[in-house]
Amino acid sequence: MERRTLFILGGLVALGLIGWIRSGPPDMKAVRRAAGDEPVVMISASWCGYCKSLRENFKTWGVRYVELDIDKDPAGRRVYSLAQARGVPVVLVGERIFHGYDPGSIHQAIVDAGLQPETTP
């Protein structure tokens, strides 16, 4: 690549990082207000394979959850934005937030919150 192009790309990356750093972590109180009272909430999309896998995990674990679709539900889009998400799934377990498909950590948070007996995910 040309040196000028690399300089411009580097600047854009730096601006993106500065914006992310300035924005700080998500305001979990606002995220929770927008997501509702259910302890476990999944922000998803119908086309997302990881979301499908996580739905199957929740079913296997016997965990009750609310699902908000970013494409079909204005509340889903609102929570997605407030959570500063960059992809789906996003899972809320109480006041904790998980970005991406991480069934082990999500399941442990559910167990720690007393929402399901401890079993292997």
Query: What's the pTM value of the predicted model, to 2 decimals?
Result: 0.78
Report how far residue 37's alpha carbon sits from residue 78's, in angstroms, rounded to the nearest whole number. 15
63-88: pLDDT as tens digits: 999 999 999 999 999 999 999 999 99
**Which pLDDT does position 23 carry in this prediction?**
75
Q: How far is CA 48 from CA 43, 45, 51, 52, 87, in A?
A: 11, 5, 5, 6, 10
Question: What is the average per-residue pLDDT within 88-110?
Answer: 97
Write b or e for each residue in 57-88: b if 16 or more Cβ atoms lie within 10 A of its Cβ, otherwise e. bbeebebebebbbbeeeebbbbbbebbbbeeb
Question: What is the average per-residue pLDDT within 41-51?
Answer: 98
**Which pLDDT does position 12 carry in this prediction?**
57
**Which pLDDT does position 116 carry in this prediction?**
80
3-45: pLDDT as tens digits: 666 556 555 555 555 555 557 999 999 999 999 999 999 999 9
Q: In what order do the strands lie in the sheet with 40-44?
A: 66-69, 40-44, 90-93, 96-99
**Which pLDDT does position 118 carry in this prediction?**
61
Domain range annotation of the chain: 24-112
**Which pLDDT does position 66 carry in this prediction?**
97
Report CA Rg, the chain: 17
Domain boundaries 24-112, corresponding CATH code: 3.40.30.10
